[in-house]
Amino acid sequence: MPHTSEWQVRLHLFEDDDGTTKAHLVLDTGTTEITGHGAAHRHPADADVPEIGDELAAGRAMNDLARQLLDTADRDIAGMGAARPRTRQATGWPT
């Protein structure tokens, strides 16, 4: 039986007074919310290009969220009685 779902993602970017760009990423699955965080610090000698800070902070927040999702999936798989994989696979359940 096919399965379809839609998850909503909200990304908030903001820069504080010391030049640090912060990202707050919220994934809403409809039953739970998972939050990822990321930050980028501009060196004082670097050019002030806000887009670069946004990209770095957002990418780091997405990476944080991805790690949390993979950890949750690992726990859910273990809860189903499946053996925990020694390494993460790119796709599929562990075999």
- pTM here is 0.80
Most distant CA pair in the chain: distance in Å? 57
pLDDT of 11 over the 80 cut:
yes
- Quick one: 8-79 is in which CATH superfamily? Rv1738 (3.30.160.240)
DSSP letter string over 6-58? --EEEEEEEE-TTSEEEEEEEEE-SS-EEEEEEEEE--TTS---HHHHHHHHH
pLDDT in the model for residue 43: 87
Model confidence pLDDT, tens digit, residues 33-55: 999 999 999 888 989 899 999 99
